[in-house]
Structure 1
Amino acid sequence: MTASGISPAAVEQFAARERARFLERNPKSVALAERARHSLYGGVPMHWMADWSTPVPLFVERAKGARFYDVDGHEYVDFCLGDTGTMFGHSPEPIARALAEQAGNGLTTMLPGEDAVVCGELLAQRFGLPYWQVTATATDANRYVVRWARAITGRKTLLVFDGCYHGTVDDVMVRQRDGRTVHRAGLIGQAYDLTQYSRAIPFNDVAALEAALAEGDVCALLCEPAMTNIGMVLPEPGFLQQCRELTRKYGSLLIIDETHTISTGIGGCTRLWNLDPDFFVLGKPIAGGVPCGVFGCSAAMAEAMSAARQRASQHNQGHGHSGMGTTLSANALAMHCMRANLEEVMTQAAYDHMLPLAARLAEGFRGLIAKHGLEWSVTELGARCEFQFCAQPPKTGAEAEAAFHDELQMALHLYLINRGILITPFHNMTLCCPSTTAEDVDRLIATLDQGLGELLAIPGARL
């Protein structure tokens, strides 16, 4: 019995038909895939680009707004948007202009310009933390903040939620199984035991949170306000406030990573829900699609960071920045694009357009689920929503994972791709951007409706 209630045999029959259709309509992608396998490991520049539902990678020619075009000339409505990397659409005009402006004025110098000052001021104004640093990615930002948390508190253990997503930071590559912290499955090349200084607990479990913090060795709780990568999981009422209160009670820091949840509003969940973190992390969309990440801290943390640096210097450990920063961090191109993004793209007007469309999409998903008599549910957060193969929205990462039916989601995704619609791979998440229209939303709903109808018409499809 699958969590989705759909027969695996019917899913395979449905998917086989769609794989054949894809190969027939995408000869140039097929040819490029064959060519690429001789020079790119796995035939793609980064391995996960081969993990989509398509039988070979779909090669893109160009993208603009809420649309992209493949090498075979097909147009797609994009509800994936680079999995938040282009949350405000592909190549917004202010970003394209900023790229052109900076192209002839230097890309990286290892020195700041006025753009850096303006970005710091805008970030402080928007997110409520006074001091900022700029990194190349959110993974880097999380890694550096964890170092600061350990230096400030003198503690080594990092606390995360089971099923969390914080990029590729080593310390977060853990899960909880049967009450124990274990390595995440598929963790290739891991040389040391991450569970020595990392601990995973269930999301929305206040008792587990307090028990973990009460051990007195936790430097920080690193968390998303809502889980987004294991399948969307929203916080129970009051849970995040308990996270803040309990971390303070037991002398641990609170790090909020809003790299995905920034879809909620212009100040993220941090401002919307008054989360009051010690550190705040954001990546992906902050520079309009140009690689960049940031982290902010409170005034108290800034003082504590200075004290940690002084302690390191007194113990002949140098200036205390080893392991933080890369040559391309805060490069001139990224800073110029971030300024344009904060001033002209990532605006309240953009959110005012995106949020109602995402609500329309979520309501459409609920209508389809009811129409087809499926025991599925929908979770929504700002401009982001997802349909999940469980009757009630999950409350923990384990519950979200238990609802997975990978073959079904891949088959449905491929059906949509073959009809010019892209949603986020690996789960059923969608994003709306300022270029998304109501017609785009309605097209997704109508196409998914058609696909579900065809799947469920296969004899024995329902279990």
Structure 2
Amino acid sequence: MIDRDRLGALLRRERAAFADRNPRSAAEYARAGHLFGRVPMTWMNKNAAGFPLYLATARGATLTDVDGHEYVDLCLGDTAAMAGHAPAPVAAAVQARFADGACAMLPTPDAAWVGEELTRRFGVSEWSFALSATDANRWAIRLLRAVTGRPKILFNSYCYHGSVDESLIVTGGDGPRSRDGNVGAPCDVTLTSRVAEFNDLEGLARELAHGDVAAVVMEPALTNIGIVLPEPGYLDGVRELTRRHGTYLVNDETHTFSAGPGGATRRWGLRPDVVTIGKAIGGGIPAAAYGISREIAERAAGMRDLDLVDMGGVGGTLAGNALSVAAARATLEHVLTDEAFARMEALAVRFADGVQRVIDAHALPWSVSRLGARVEYRFANPAPRTGTESAANADPDLEDYLHVYLANRGILLTPFHNMALMSPDTTAQQVDLHETVFEAAVSELQRA
């Protein structure tokens, strides 16, 4: 239904307008010759317009770039700023903690409070801290390999758990393989990992039957390949199969935290053995955590050959630092509260309804998926049910057109897909502005 020639012409027009509109960002990018890829991290080159916007300030759900343009920020740091930018309780806690020292390699009372609160929200009882979800997943995997004596970890195809080496595996016509673009893999990923499609219990059972899987690491809903929601009975089936095969279950709630105060784990009554979470709990300060069941903790503590104190590979000097823990406490206690999630979800429903109205008005074969406070529009209807289907339905040019069109009119989506996230500071007016601009973008695309 998309005229590709018209799409190409509109994309070129919007990119030219972006370049004209943002000369200071363009100049900053041009002079960053001593940065690999000209950006602090190479993924910042994932942008629709040829160069990234440069940040000046961000408050609440509004961001201002170095050219002075304001944006409704529906990206929110790809979840890192789900609490909103610079939330006042977190800013105050961080400033006070940093003034009194941040990295003394000593615990603070805040850590015990955060552990208790995470247990209340997610159920598992023993918590440890990290600086990123990647490390939280990596260290949980090491523990589970140790206590089971099993070498392999199972993932869903096209999952995302940070840059964990073992997770970069997908299904293929000729069998499991490394995901395209995997950088510097230490070994063939099939030596460390198994893979099954999301929503495929038969495939999961087949892989677990080998008896060598220490843990299934999964998001309760896929998010980073586009939102892929679980079908009825699927998550219960995963839990039953993992128990039957003596395999631990890890829920990575880093993105699915958008489902509610206790993520999908609490919302859907899940019973994982391990929960990992990153980004959002720090309110903008790097923070992450992994929680394990008491049974796993006791098994690990009873294995005298494990070095859990010095060089055993389950921590880092900055993990659990006083600044990150103070930020996590302020975020969980005062910002991402039960009441805040209720408001965020109501706005996400409003956002999804607005997108659906545009899709229906133009008879587009697209769909809308929502996970609590997170919404995404998909270029497929029905929405994809597996990661592989989701990857196959990508349309990079169409996605780039929508992203740069929105950016030129003051709206930012998550750069990796068409995903919008609500924060406690997002307003109904900002949500409605997106509907207006999205309608204009689609109308121009379909104009004869």
Name the aligned partner's letter for residue 33 of structure 1: Y
Distance 1:171 1:321 in 2: 21
Which is worse superposed, 79-88 or 267-276? 267-276
2:242 aligned counterpart, secondary structure = helix
1:202 Cα deviation (Å)? 0.7
1:85 Cα deviation (Å)? 0.4
1:321 Cα deviation (Å)? 5.4
Distance 1:320 1:114 in 2: 23
1:412 maps to: 402
Distance 1:318 1:451 in 2: 54
Name the aligned partner's letter for residue 412 of structure 1: L
2:312 maps to: 322
1:181 maps to: 176
1:245 aligned counterpart, secondary structure = helix
Question: What CA deviation, in whole Å up to 9, does each residue of 1:396-446 have, x standing for no partner?
Answer: 011111111011101110000000000111211110111111111110010
Is residue 308–residue 314 contact of structure 2 (8 Å, CA) maintained in 1?
no
Name the aligned partner's letter for residue 140 of structure 1: D
Distance 2:174 2:92 in 1: 52
1:210-359 → structure 2 map (5 Å cutoff): 210-308=205-303, 310=304, 312=305, 322-359=312-349
Distance 1:134 1:292 in 2: 7
Matched, 1:17 2:13: yes
1:33 Cα deviation (Å)? 1.2
Matched, 1:422 2:412: yes
Is residue 410–residue 426 contact of structure 1 (8 Å, CA) maintained in 2?
no
1:190 aligned counterpart, secondary structure = coil
Name the aligned partner's letter for residue 137 of structure 1: S
2:58 aligned counterpart, secondary structure = strand
1:398 aligned counterpart, secondary structure = helix
Distance 1:222 1:236 in 2: 18
Distance 1:434 1:104 in 2: 27
Distance 2:4 2:78 in 1: 27
1:43 maps to: 38
1:96 aligned counterpart, secondary structure = helix
2:376 aligned counterpart, secondary structure = strand
1:191 Cα deviation (Å)? 3.4
1:78-93 → structure 2 map (5 Å cutoff): 78-93=73-88
Distance 1:319 1:294 in 2: 17
> 5+ residue gaps in structure 2?
none
Matched, 1:385 2:375: yes
Distance 2:147 2:411 in 1: 47
1:246 Cα deviation (Å)? 0.6
2:427 maps to: 437
Matched, 1:401 2:391: yes
Name the aligned partner's letter for residue 375 of structure 1: P
Distance 2:21 2:236 in 1: 51
Distance 2:178 2:69 in 1: 41
Is residue 159–residue 387 contact of structure 2 (8 Å, CA) maintained in 1?
yes
2:176 aligned counterpart, secondary structure = strand
Distance 1:226 1:119 in 2: 25
Distance 2:6 2:157 in 1: 32
Name the aligned partner's letter for residue 17 of structure 1: R
Identity fraction in percent:
45
Name the aligned partner's letter for residue 338 of structure 1: A
The total of aligned residue pairs comes to 448
1:121 Cα deviation (Å)? 1.6
1:139 aligned counterpart, secondary structure = helix
Distance 2:195 2:238 in 1: 14
Name the aligned partner's letter for residue 118 of structure 1: W
Distance 1:191 1:337 in 2: 35
Distance 2:394 2:132 in 1: 28
Runs of 4+ with deviation above 4 angstroms: 317-321
Name the aligned partner's letter for residue 370 of structure 1: D
Distance 1:47 1:449 in 2: 32
Is residue 406–residue 426 contact of structure 1 (8 Å, CA) maintained in 2?
no
1:69 maps to: 64
1:164 Cα deviation (Å)? 0.4
Distance 1:182 1:377 in 2: 30
1:179 Cα deviation (Å)? 5.7
1:262 Cα deviation (Å)? 0.3
Question: What CA deviation, in whole Å up to 9, does each residue of 1:316-375 have, x standing for no partner?
Answer: x78685112111101111011111111101101111110011011111111111111110
1:238 Cα deviation (Å)? 1.0
1:8 Cα deviation (Å)? 2.6
Question: What CA deviation, in whole Å up to 9, does each residue of 1:291-328 have, x standing for no partner?
Answer: 011011111111121123x2x15xxx786851121111
Distance 1:369 1:451 in 2: 12
Name the aligned partner's letter for residue 294 of structure 1: A
User: Among 187, 202, 217, which residue is 2:197 paired with?
Assistant: 202
User: Among 126, 132, 137, which residue is 1:131 paired with?
Assistant: 126
> 5+ residue gaps in structure 1?
none
Is residue 152–residue 192 contact of structure 2 (8 Å, CA) maintained in 1?
yes
User: Among 113, 117, 136, which residue is 1:141 paired with?
Assistant: 136
Distance 1:59 1:445 in 2: 25
Distance 1:363 1:18 in 2: 26
Is residue 88–residue 350 contact of structure 1 (8 Å, CA) maintained in 2?
no
2:302 aligned counterpart, secondary structure = helix
Name the aligned partner's letter for residue 179 of structure 2: R
